[in-house]
Chain A
Amino acid sequence: MTKQELAAKIKEKFGYDGKVGDEVELLVKREDYRPLAEFLKAEGLDYYCFATATDRKEKIVLTTRIENLEKQIAVHLSCEVEPGGKVRSLADLYAGADWMEREVFDLFGIQFDGHPDLKRILMPEDYQGYPLRKEFPLDQPYQPYR
């Protein structure tokens, strides 16, 4: 089973055509994010690499990379979420998702419902604001040390 076959299977099952480069890149709607993840896990992609988000000003793109180590197949599953939106969590599918999604929540503010205990992981618990958002102000011009 190679990348192309997987992309074809996803196309006829979900209707998204993934761009096959080094990895299969899929941009899906939010409600398909969870079913697709379950489908990929059934397909044998059991290695959870990482989850991160990119702030595209008006919406945040959440990207998760899931792989199968033996067959060298990797999928970049990304979906668009408006700032502060809610996404179904993958924490019960993959053990690694727990901390990664807490970090995305901590730095971007995306809510994950169904997550065991969603609280900040890197910043202090009572920190206001989400640092990695583009509009998060750098309070003064970048001076690391004076």
Chain B
Amino acid sequence: MTALIFSVAILAGVLFVVMYLTLLERKFAGRLQSRIGPQRVGWPFGYLQPVADAVKLLVKEDVIPEVADRKAFNLAPVLVVLPVLFVFAVIPFGENLVLADLNIGVLFVLAISSITLIGIFMAAWGSKNKYAVLSGMRAVNQMISYEVPLVISSLVPVILAESMNLSDIVAFQDRAWFVFYPVLGQLAFIVFMVSAMAEANRIPFDITEAESELVAGFMVEYSGMKFAFFFLAEYAHMLAVSFLAVILFLGGWQGPWLPAGVWLALKVFMVFMLILWIRWSLVRIRLDQILALSWKVLFPLSLLVLLLAGIWKMW
């Protein structure tokens, strides 16, 4: 019974936080670009803006193009959002505050998060729009090639903490966070962050929904509630990535003076702001350069990091 309440709490919490993350991003991006950001709805800080967005997306007519393949078109958003929400089931929010304490936590997270790729390609192929198909191809290319460095670099904490269970990894880090291991920690963290950002289609890798070339990528035919799903999935994916980064490398809720929960929130907030900051200051790079970066740079780097982790463990 408590698991049910806990899971509903997590779901509501995630949706609420994601809604206000959109506001955070727009205010932060505004300040970065020396403008104010949304403030008209909910006067001083625009805190009602996410509610306005949600209502707008709910009320908007949900258009299904006549040419589209209806089954794939309707199922795609579901297949994109659900895996990301499943990831939150495994994440430990506190000492033993976790919905499902799987002892194969990391494997579960990596497996689930690659299902979004199927959803994205279904959306692209289902909407039968040339732009969407082109962007669907790109999404497949990019996400598969970044799956490999992501998996290998997230193996490093598993090796160091000798367990795939996320709570054990966090427990192991009470003495020193993995990121502070001499060369090993920083390299693994960088590879993990870069490939996680590529996984979540964020600048400078947001080639799939590149406005300047492909209008809106695979989301071009979606509107109304289905578009809200994609929107929600993107931010939830970013949130999941920052949670993962914090747990695997920055020692979860470990932290000297403050209570556990505050430390976790603070670290996730910092990682999230880092992703935003990178997003609003870099220019997008081309698809072939993205693939080259993944195979020629990140993949060998992650192998090296794995080797270092092995040596570190043996020694």
A and B touch in the complex (CB under 8 A): no
* B contact residues vs A (CB 8 Å cutoff): none
